[in-house]
Amino acid sequence: MLELEKRLSWVYLINLVFYIAPFFYINYSPLQYLWMTVALVAFVGCYYWVYRSHSSQMLVPILLMALIASVITPLNYGSIAMFAYVSFFIGFAYNFRQFLVGVAALLCVLVLLDHFFVKGAPYFLLYGSALVLAIGVFGVLDRARRDSLLKEQRSAEEIKQLATIVERERIARDLHDIMGHSLSGIVLKADLADKLLQQQQFQAAHQQLQELAQIARESLSQVRQTVSGYKHKGLVGEVQALSTKLREAGFGVDVQGEIPTLSAREETAVVLILTELVTNVLKHSNGDEVQISFSENQQGRQLMVSDNGKLSELKQGHGLTGIQERLAALNSQLEWQLSPSRFRFTLPKEA
């Protein structure tokens, strides 16, 4: 927006028509035409100087514009248009108190010019003062408008940066949850294959290594899906996959209730939360039975993961923190109890 205004800055020079008009209806000498032309070219040069300067660097070109307007006034009373530009840039470049001082100084210059040099133009001071005041106010308003636009741009950039940070945190949490679960499976398969090799059960070890490779491939696919922000299997497929992992680790699995249909946002969060809860069971539970249940009540849709293991304490690690952050984004929270361990949350119906 601001760059566009800079490219169109020549449009505002149309107001100099009031300075150029006397060229055509007053008989000037060739030397006077020359001086007025030189003054016009110099003024336009200062105008673009101001336009390309930061507000803190506008003082010199503004003073030169005021000087050119003052010097040329005895020849061409249309210089009041030049004073209007000076007033505008004062309002644009400085705060309101400085603007008042600058405008007061311009009005004093107009009074002196009117008293000593202007003849036959009784309205020079009146028109000049009105233009200086009115156009100066426009400068103040334009400064406020541009400051507002710059604030909006900065806010948009800050929002973009925050969104980037949030997305990075999401990817970090998702990778932690997915890779924690996948690496646990890989470790289990590798340990089992090692034991089978030591017992010279080569066929069974070969089978475990094949399953380990399959887990690695699935992990790679899940990482790609996480980075791109979507899941292909859906909640039903993930529940089945997690149940298989639990059974392979020696747990009995009981899935109860009807798996709900969720929005893409809810489904992604629930899949990752469920993956982290199952990973915690695989890593920390001393039980052998796991129950994953889905239900619905007046508050919303409820999911619970429980097992018959006994825990004396629950440490607040990255996984649990990630679960709580995801649930907070869905206006929910995690509830749990120990011995036997049970983790439960409810998705509000309005989520």
Residue 180's pLDDT band (cuts 50, 70, 90): low
Share of the chain above pLDDT 90, in %: 27
Q: Which residues contact 82 (CB under 8 A, 6 or more apart)?
A: 16, 19, 43, 65, 68, 69, 72
Q: Which domains are seen in the chain, by residue range?
A: 1-156 (no CATH), 163-228 (1.20.5), 234-348 (3.30.565.10)
- The DSSP symbol for 335 reads E
Provide the whole-model pTM: 0.49
pLDDT of residue 279: 83
- Measure the N-to-C terminal CA separation of the chain; round to a whole number of Å: 38
Residue 4's pLDDT band (cuts 50, 70, 90): very low
Q: If 0-12 CB within 10 Å is exposed, 13-18 middle and 19+ buried, where does residue 279 land?
A: buried
Q: What one-character-per-residue DSSP string does 305-319 give?
A: EEES---S-----HH
Distance, CA of 44 to CA of 31 (rounded, Å):
20
pLDDT of residue 59: 92
Q: In 229-331, which ranges are continuous DSSP H helix?
A: 234-248, 264-284, 318-329
Write the pLDDT tens digit of every residue in 217-232.
Answer: 777 666 666 655 544 4
Write the pLDDT tens digit of every residue in 34-69.
Answer: 999 999 999 999 998 988 888 888 899 999 999 999
Mean pLDDT across 81-106: 92
Distance, CA of 239 to CA of 248 (rounded, Å):
14
Check: CB of residue 86 under 8 Å from CB of residue 66: yes
Check: CB of residue 282 under 8 Å from CB of residue 249: yes
Share of the chain above pLDDT 70, in %: 83
pLDDT of residue 286 exceeding 50, the answer is: yes
293 three-class SS: strand
